Amino acid sequence: MHQNNQTIRFFNPTAELAIANGLISYQPNSLLKRFESDLAYLPYVLSSNEDLILVDKYENFEHVDLLKSCGFKTPGQILQTDFFKYPPRVVDKNNNFIPWCWAPNIEHKLTKFGYLERTNVRSIESKWTNQRYFYSRAFALDVLNKIKPELDPKITIDNNDSPQIVNSIESVKELLERYKALVLKAPWSSSGRGLIVLKKALLPENIIQRINSILKEQTYLMAEPLLNKKMDFAIQFEAKNESITFAGESYFETDSVGQYQKNYINTYPDKVEQEVILFWESIKNDIINKLTKTLIDKKLYLQHQGFFGVDMLIFTKGDQLKIQPCLEINLRQNMGIVTKKIIDTIHPEAKGTFNIFFEPKLSYETFIDHAFKKPTMADDKLIKGLIPLTSHREKKFGAYIELH
């Protein structure tokens, strides 16, 4: 039954690009639109039994009964329509909207249909011009520079290896000559998109064009030396009222160009050495406490309420293990939070991965039809199996868990 204060969730992982663009008219490209559409059901993992999930078109939800049988909650309602073109009567301004991430285009759409307090286009775009800094890598760099002096210099990244802001091809070339290998990052991007890895002294023309394109759209790039990475992970936080609290750790894996692939469930990544784990265990309480204090001092809770993640990196320099304690701040729902909710649902002894699927030459439907492993239950909780978390029929992208 519909309730006036029902929470409505929807998936808009292209929000950072919309924030960078700044216009209420922003539209993602066709591939990103497909990603957004194919994974539209994913926020149900974060939902309660009363929540309403928006998906932009009718689809086959045969996987929902499977998930329910495995102990997952199901949303109160799935709304299968292009919500922002045809807003349904079941939704009104008393509803609580939780997008994957707030952005100017989303705020405008909700305002246009009367779900948020009405305001003009110019004031929305002006607000986001001021607010978007907190979603950028420049803000993460400011937090890093604030926390670094409070940490033991032996174990934290030094100034020479820290990110730097660059705004020209010439600056990129100078840094590449100095470091020999460089990572360039667009100020606003997500899941590893917007990363350029440079390992050769000469910049090919297509890379120069890509750099210039980002500079034109976003005015600068973040440049970092390519570190000898040992472990990717994130610390999850929750901002509630005027407090920011630790909400868990999440360990993930990226591909060779830094795009997100999977999170680990109840285990460290396969290839991580024991000494790296012991190093992190020995410093993590201090890192988490100091980072929490810094985020509160910066009053981040005024910009964002709800869950968010801070990406970190453990690397080696010479023989010394070191940490980059604030690589990126993701002010949004994120795959680490999804993984945390999965862990809360499944058997405590289950181990495996939460995965995002995309293979250009293979559909998600074909993958699931071949890879599906029947779920095994223990104490009424899922402990083994490979099962889809999002509908796989006629899909290119998908999300699934594999427990072994």
Q: Rounded to whole angstroms, how far apart are CA atoms 268 and 152? A: 25
DSSP state of 78: E
DSSP state of 127: H
Q: DSSP readout, 21-70?
A: H--TT----HHHHHHHHHTTTGGGGG--TT-EEEESS----HHHHHHHHT
Q: Are 269 and 250 in contact (CB under 8 A)?
A: no
When pLDDT is averaged across residues 349-355 and rounded to a whole number, the result is: 98
When pLDDT is averaged across residues 226-236 and rounded to a whole number, the result is: 95
- Asked if the model's pLDDT at residue 346 lies above 50, the reply is yes
- Asked if the model's pLDDT at residue 168 lies above 70, the reply is yes
Q: Rounded to whole angstroms, how far apart are CA atoms 252 and 56? A: 29
- Asked if the model's pLDDT at residue 76 lies above 80, the reply is no
DSSP state of 299: T
Span between the terminal Cα atoms of the chain, in Å: 38
Confidence (pLDDT) at 90: 63
Looking at this protein, which amino acid is placed at residue 46? L
Confidence (pLDDT) at 396: 94
Q: Cite the DSSP H helix spans in 60-204.
A: 62-69, 104-112, 121-131, 137-147, 169-179
Work out the number of other CB atoms within 10 angstroms of the CB of residue 277.
16
pLDDT band at 2 (very low <50, low <70, confident <90, very high): very low
Domains in the chain with CATH codes: 7-134 (no CATH), 136-336 (3.30.470.20), 346-403 (no CATH)
pLDDT band at 1 (very low <50, low <70, confident <90, very high): very low
Q: How many degrees, rounded to 5, is the angle at CA 329 between CA 326 and CA 164?
A: 55
| Percent of all residues in the chain with a pLDDT value above 70, rounded to a whole number | 97
Instruction: Find tokens 């497909």 and name the residue.
Output: 34
Q: Are 345 and 72 in contact (CB under 8 A)?
A: yes
Residue 144 Cα to chain centre, angstroms: 19
Nearest to 42 by CA among 402, 338, 371: 338
Residues 284, 289, 291, 295, CA torsion sign? positive
CA distances from 160 to 225, 296, 317 (A): 9, 27, 12
Higher per-residue pLDDT: 187 or 258: 187
- Asked if the model's pLDDT at residue 380 lies above 60, the reply is yes
Judged by DSSP in three states, 180 sits in coil
Instruction: Find tokens 């293990």 and name the residue.
Output: 321
Residues 221, 226, 227, 231, CA torsion sign? positive
Q: Rounded to whole angstroms, how far apart are CA atoms 372 and 109? A: 38
**Average pLDDT value over all residues in the chain:** 92
pTM (two decimals): 0.93
pLDDT band at 334 (very low <50, low <70, confident <90, very high): very high
Looking at this protein, which amino acid is placed at residue 338? V
Nearest to 248 by CA among 339, 325, 331: 339
Q: Are 27 and 115 in contact (CB under 8 A)?
A: no
Nearest to 155 by CA among 164, 146, 167, 147: 147
Nearest to 295 by CA among 329, 335, 337: 329
pLDDT tens for 19-65 read 999 999 999 999 999 999 999 999 999 988 788 888 887 777 788 89
Q: Rounded to whole angstroms, how far apart are CA atoms 376 and 299? A: 45
Residue length of the chain? 404
Cβ neighbours for 196, distance < 8 A, ≥ 6 positions apart:
183, 184, 185, 207, 210, 211
Number of H helices, E strands in the chain: 11, 17
Q: Strands 320-330 and 260-265, how do they pair?
A: unpaired
Q: DSSP readout, 248-265?
A: EEEEEEE-TT--EEEEEE
